[in-house]
Amino acid sequence: MDIVRPNQEELEQILALSPQAIFEGTLGEAEPTIEKAKQLVEPLLKKGSYYLIATENNVITGWILLGGSKDHFSDKALGFIYELFVIEEFRGKGISKQLIKTGVEQLKQEGYSEIRLSVFDGNQVIKTYESLGFKNRTITMSISL
């Protein structure tokens, strides 16, 4: 498995699959169009965030979207994992774990001393994040009316 930054063609493939990534990441609460996915991702890319892709035999198997952010209370700069996705047929092979490890190392090299992410409660990837040392920091609660 290779993990690299995507070229333009690969970036277009990622953007085409982003609605599925968002749908699964939100546990089906959002069914975005490609246009909506681009509205979410393009501002991040313009601010310096970037994808790393996992490939096997020149086929994209998954990706992670990384970038900088800041703590809203302290203004402390921190690294952020905005998106993680492994294409269904390639799941269960450790790709997400390797993408996270590579992403964490990349953000560490960029000088971040803390990395955060958001994940929906009930998402299976939480176990992977926890196995790599991520811990709950905040909890968002809601009530349906």
pLDDT digits (tens, 9 = 90+) for 38-49: 889 999 999 999
- What's the pLDDT score for residue 136? 93
Q: Where are the domains of the chain?
A: 2-131
Question: What is the three-class DSSP state of 28?
Answer: coil
pLDDT at 145: 94
Q: How far, in Å, CA of 123 to CA of 111, rounded?
A: 29
H-helix segments, the chain: 8-25, 34-46, 95-109, 125-131
Domain topology for 2-131 = Aminopeptidase (3.40.630)
Please, are residues 15 and 37 in contact by the beta-carbon 8 Å criterion?
A: yes
**Beta partners for residue 91, in sequence order:** none
pLDDT at 31: 80
The residue with tokens 């086929």 is 59
User: How would you write the pLDDT of the chain (145 residues) with one tens digit per residue?
Assistant: 999 999 999 999 999 999 888 888 888 888 888 888 888 999 999 999 999 999 999 999 999 999 999 998 999 999 999 999 999 999 999 999 999 999 999 999 999 999 999 998 889 899 999 999 999 998 888 899 9
Q: What is the pTM of this model?
A: 0.92
CB of 129 closer than 8 Å to CB of 117? yes
Q: Which pLDDT score is estimated for 7?
A: 95
The tens digit of pLDDT for each residue in 76-87 reads 999 999 999 999
Contacts of 107 by beta carbon, 8 Å cutoff, 6+ apart: 66, 79, 115
